[in-house]
Amino acid sequence: MPRFFSVNVVFLRFYRILFVSFSFILFCILLAYSAHAEPIAVTDLGVDNSKGAVSVGFSIVVHDEAPLLEILQDGGDYEVRCTGKLYHRRAGFWDEFLSEASYVCLMTGKPIARECLLQDHRGSHTVDFSTLRKDLNQFWSHLSLPMGSWEQIQRNRAYKVVLSFKITRTNISQWIRKPLFFVSWDFVPEVAYELNFDF
């Protein structure tokens, strides 16, 4: 009986070590996948009073240029879209929608010239493939969305901003898009970032 008990203890310890090791390996894999899954992300989300208007500020940061460079070298056209929505948070009720604004940037890969053409409300800008990450991070830094008059923000109330971000390929023929309706053409699937603030 004591010998049988000691064998069980050994097996329990072995399975415990095996479980911990497997969990650690799985965690590392998920961490690596998460880092790879977000080559581009939104950072520095904030709210400011800009000349009497609500301004939602943010930056788009390229963490890993390799996946982006790969699609641009194929000559694709992409739309970078950020849509911000401002809400009044109400405990026990649906949040009250206040305003909405969007930032749109068209991105076109030119593989022969080894450059990328960017077009947004500021005009056109050309980025060389050799300095893609550096120039994109500079071009997409300190962006802002005008969300209406600051008068809609009242004291002693809670608010939140939800900013959705995605990058979608736009030069897909309809005869390809319709039969393959189940295929996602998003380079970056829609991601939502949320910021709560009180005034």
pLDDT-derived band at 24 (thresholds 50, 70, 90) equals: very low
Cα distances (Å, whole numbers) of residue 45 to 41, 143, 170, 188, 194: 11, 10, 27, 18, 8
User: Do residues 103 and 145 lie in contact, with contact meaning Cβ atoms separated by under 8 Å?
Assistant: yes
For residues 54-67, average pLDDT? 95
User: Do residues 118 and 139 lie in contact, with contact meaning Cβ atoms separated by under 8 Å?
Assistant: yes
Cα distances (Å, whole numbers) of residue 39 to 11, 42, 60, 167: 43, 11, 11, 11
d(CA 64, CA 36): 8
d(CA 197, CA 199): 7
Phi-psi region of 184 (alpha: psi -120 to 50; beta: other; left: phi over 0): beta
Tokens matching residue 91: 């405990």
% of the chain with per-residue pLDDT over 70: 74
User: Do residues 125 and 115 lie in contact, with contact meaning Cβ atoms separated by under 8 Å?
Assistant: no
Of the candidates 50, 43, 54, the residue with the CA atom closest to the CA atom of residue 86: 54
d(CA 107, CA 161): 26
pLDDT of res. 105 = 97
For residues 10-22, average pLDDT? 45
Of the candidates 27, 157, 45, the residue with the CA atom closest to the CA atom of residue 103: 45
Tokens matching residue 83: 């849509």
d(CA 65, CA 67): 6
For residues 106-132, average pLDDT? 95
| Mean pLDDT over the full length of the chain | 81
pLDDT of res. 13 = 52
| Residue 188, number of CB atoms within 10 A of its CB | 20
User: Do residues 114 and 128 lie in contact, with contact meaning Cβ atoms separated by under 8 Å?
Assistant: yes
